[in-house]
Amino acid sequence: MAAVKRNPDRLSWMLAALLLLMLSGCASSSTAAAKKPIPGAPNTLPPQWLRTELYLAAVDASEWEAFLAERITPRFPAGFTVFDAYGQWRAPQGDIRRLSTKVVVILHPPTHEAEQAIEAIRKEYCSTFNQVSVLRSTTPALVSF
């Protein structure tokens, strides 16, 4: 039987190529797994939803119900959450102002339509109830239904 002549440079190159293939296979399978959400688990993809909170100074109950029905519900018919809160802030004159507040929480995709609807609610609330501003807080949200 004849002896097989080994080329050390070729063997090193083949081992390096094999290692590179193995590592690229690991990376692609872990990337694919990261992109596939687990049912019932929070969304692990880059944020596809936003959580917007609007802090609205409390008004008369019947006026609030009318505003909710006519201005907010038609813009977000899929749903939102409202809860009562109590807050305080320092006025420009330096005095502390305390007030009851309605907080509207809207979970929505980051679309131009949602942005326009939220800004319209803020503007209409200010003009309807003679308010200086409506506090808005928007953050990325990991959502699971």
Check if the beta carbon of residue 135 is closer than 8 Å to that of residue 85.
no
Among 14-18, 74-78, 108-112, where is mean pLDDT lowest? 14-18
Q: How confident is the model at residue 144 (pLDDT cuts 50, 70, 90)?
A: confident
Check if the beta carbon of residue 132 is closer than 8 Å to that of residue 126.
yes
- Rounded to whole angstroms, the maximal C-alpha distance in the chain is 101
Residues 29-78 pLDDT 10s: 444 445 555 555 665 555 689 999 999 999 999 999 999 999 999 999 99
User: What is the rounded CA–CA span in Å between residue 124 and residue 134?
Assistant: 10
Mean pLDDT for the stretch of residues 95-100: 93
How confident is the model at residue 46, as a pLDDT? 56
Domain ranges for the chain, please list them: 49-141
Q: Which tokens hold the place of 100? A: 């009851």
User: What is the rounded CA–CA span in Å between residue 125 and residue 43?
Assistant: 33
CATH number of 49-141: 3.30.70.120
Phi/psi for 26 (5° steps) reads -65, -45
pTM: 0.67
Across the strands, what pairs with 88?
A: 98
